[in-house]
Structures are given as C-alpha cells and as structure tokens.
C-alpha cells in the first residue's frame, strides 16, 4: 500500500442550487474566476501537492467537465501558427497526462459522503485527498500542499480548517480541537451545520481533506444526516473513534465559489493579483464604486 497521497477525489455532482440559474446551463466549476475556470486553479493546486490521479465524481449535466481536459487542436494550431506561444501555453496549462483522470458517475445527489464513496474502487487501499473544487483557495504555498506537508508530519487523517465569525458557523461543518497550539492540532469532534449558538469552535471544514481508505467501509453503511444527505463528516466522526484526525488551519484565503457573492469576490481578488491586469482592474472597480 502506498502511503504517499497520489490520488485526489473531486466531487462535482452536486446540484449547485445556490448558483442557479447559471448552473443550469454550465457546470459551476467551469464558471470563470477572471480568465480561467474555477477548476483550472484547483487542478494547479492539486498538481503542486503531488497529485497524480484525479477522480471526478460527476452527474448528469457535468459532461463539459470531462471535455475540458481534451486538447483543442483547432485553437492550438491557430495559436502556434501565429506564434502566440504565451496564450498556447495557457490553453495547454491544464491538460493532464493520459490515464491520470477517472470519471465516476453519481447517479443521484445523495450527498458528499455518497459521492466520495463512489470513488472507492479507483482509490483502492491508499490514503487520498478530497478536494471540493468550488472552495477556491488563494495561498502562497498551495492549500493542498500544506495539508500534504501536515500529513507527512503526523499521518492519519487531515482536515483543512479556517476561522469564520461565530454568526456563520451554522452553515458549515465545524471541528472541535484538543487544545490549540500552532496551526496543526488534534481533533476531538466534528459536527455538520450545528444549530446557531451550539458550535464547538469557529473553525470550519474548508474543503480539503486527506483521508485513509478505511473511510470507505464507513461510508458504505452511513445513513442520512444533516439536510437528509449522506454526510462525509458523519463517517469521519466514526473513523475518529479508531484513527487520528488533525485539523490544519491553513495559511491563505478561501473563496466559496459555489455562492454568488463568493464567486464575485474571487473574480475581483484573482484579477487584482495578476500583475498585468491589476491596475486596469483596480481602475474599473473604482469607477463602479
């Protein structure tokens, strides 16, 4: 069994109701953050963390996610003929080596836990990452690479977390820690969307995980939880009875691109970060304000 984290599961089979009506026609992870699809940033982050195989959990309407990873000879030849090498490199940026992607169908949106369980045969018996692609992370050292470094330090299971205001905790999965010293701490509990005022901390589970394959057997018999969905959090709570879980408070900023204002914020932030566009972006935003 490999102990290195080589595979990542990317569930994209949710209904994306918060992004309707646009998500009716376009998979939400292909919506743009400035000039690239959300997915492009996430793939870059995963590759920087050493991920070699990408397991997408898809559903009806998510076909364009698979097509995104095809080459486009017409565009590539035209750019090459015109000597537009920079643009050509950008167009080819996300093309992954043959054999490094799998697409698994989740036939009904039964929940994130069920989506991850759908990857069991392809992941096999090795630790793996889970990446929620709509949670976009801006960080000097890519967020998943920070999680992998934590995993190499303490092993077991890692959940990337971040603080939010107390008033926001009821919207997320929340972790409880065994004391707090530095950014990497042992976890004692997790709860999915706690009722207002009952959260054990203000640290939310922010969409990057490193899990041991033992989670699959628990997901297999996991009943419905919060929201009537099969929740990954509930099986992680079960696994925590026999294995170590650490919460990593990562160094960076998260944008929830599954939310309309979150996606807007990401667009502004990532445009401002691009040296060649920053000044024009600042001017355009200033004029609008």
Instruction: State the nearest-atom distance from the C-beta of 235 to ligand UTP, in Å.
Output: 14
* Residue whose CB is less far from ligand UTP, 50 or 109: 109
Handedness of CA 10, 14, 19, 25 (dihedral sign): positive
The DSSP bridge partners found for residue 175 are: 190
Token pair, residue 34, equals 């400035």
Instruction: State the nearest-atom distance from the C-beta of 18 to ligand UTP, in Å.
Output: 3
Instruction: State the nearest-atom distance from the C-beta of 106 to ligand UTP, in Å.
Output: 5
**How far does Cα 261 stand from its chain's mean position?**
18
Hunting for tokens 């919207």 — which residue is that? 171
Instruction: State the nearest-atom distance from the C-beta of 112 to ligand UTP, in Å.
Output: 4
* Residue whose CB is less far from ligand UTP, 185 or 254: 254
* Residue whose CB is less far from ligand UTP, 4 or 60: 60
Alpha-carbon distance 272 to 202, whole Å?
29
* Residue whose CB is less far from ligand UTP, 19 or 51: 19
Write the DSSP symbol of residue 230.
Answer: B
Instruction: State the nearest-atom distance from the C-beta of 58 to ligand UTP, in Å.
Output: 8
Nearest to 118 by CA among 62, 52, 59: 59
* Residue whose CB is less far from ligand UTP, 145 or 257: 257
Nearest to 259 by CA among 35, 19, 14, 36: 19
Instruction: State the nearest-atom distance from the C-beta of 53 to ligand UTP, in Å.
Output: 18
Alpha-carbon distance 8 to 197, whole Å?
34
User: Which position's Cβ is nearest ligand UTP?
Assistant: 14
Alpha-carbon distance 192 to 195, whole Å?
9
* Residue whose CB is less far from ligand UTP, 108 or 195: 108
Enumerate binding residues for ligand UTP (CB under 6 A): 11-19, 57, 106, 109-112, 114-115, 132-134, 258
């Amino acid at each position: 069994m490999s102990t290195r984290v080589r595979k990542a599961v990317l569930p994209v089979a949710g209904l994306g109701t918060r992004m309707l009506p646009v998500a009716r026609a376009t998979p939400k992870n292909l919506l743009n953050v400035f000039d690239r699809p959300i997915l492009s940033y996430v793939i870059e982050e995963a590759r920087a963390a050493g991920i070699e195989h990408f397991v997408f959990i898809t559903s009806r309407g998510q076909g364009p996610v698979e097509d995104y990873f095809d080459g486009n000879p017409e565009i590539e030849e035209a750019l090459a003929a015109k000597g537009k090498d920079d643009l050509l490199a950008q167009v080819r940026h996300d093309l992954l080596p043959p054999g490094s992607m799998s697409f698994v169908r989740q036939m009904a949106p039964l929940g994130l836990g069920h989506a991850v369980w759908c990857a069991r045969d392809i992941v096999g018996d090795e630790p793996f990452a889970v990446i929620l692609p709509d949670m976009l992370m801006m960080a000097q050292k890519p967020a998943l690479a920070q999680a992998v470094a934590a995993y190499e330090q303490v092993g077991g299971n890692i959940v990337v977390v971040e603080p939010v205001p107390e008033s926001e905790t009821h919207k997320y999965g929340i972790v409880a820690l065994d004391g707090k010293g530095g950014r990497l701490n042992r976890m004692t509990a997790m709860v999915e969307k706690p009722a207002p005022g009952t959260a054990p901390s203000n640290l939310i589970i922010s969409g990057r995980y490193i899990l041991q394959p033992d989670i699959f057997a628990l997901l297999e018999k996991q009943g419905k939880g919060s929201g009537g969905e099969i929740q990954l959090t509930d099986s992680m709570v079960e696994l925590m009875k026999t294995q170590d879980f650490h919460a990593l408070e990562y160094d960076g900023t998260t944008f929830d691109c599954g939310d309309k204002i979150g996606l807007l914020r990401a667009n502004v932030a990532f445009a401002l970060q691009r040296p060649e566009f920053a000044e024009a972006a600042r001017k355009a935003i200033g004029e609008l304000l």
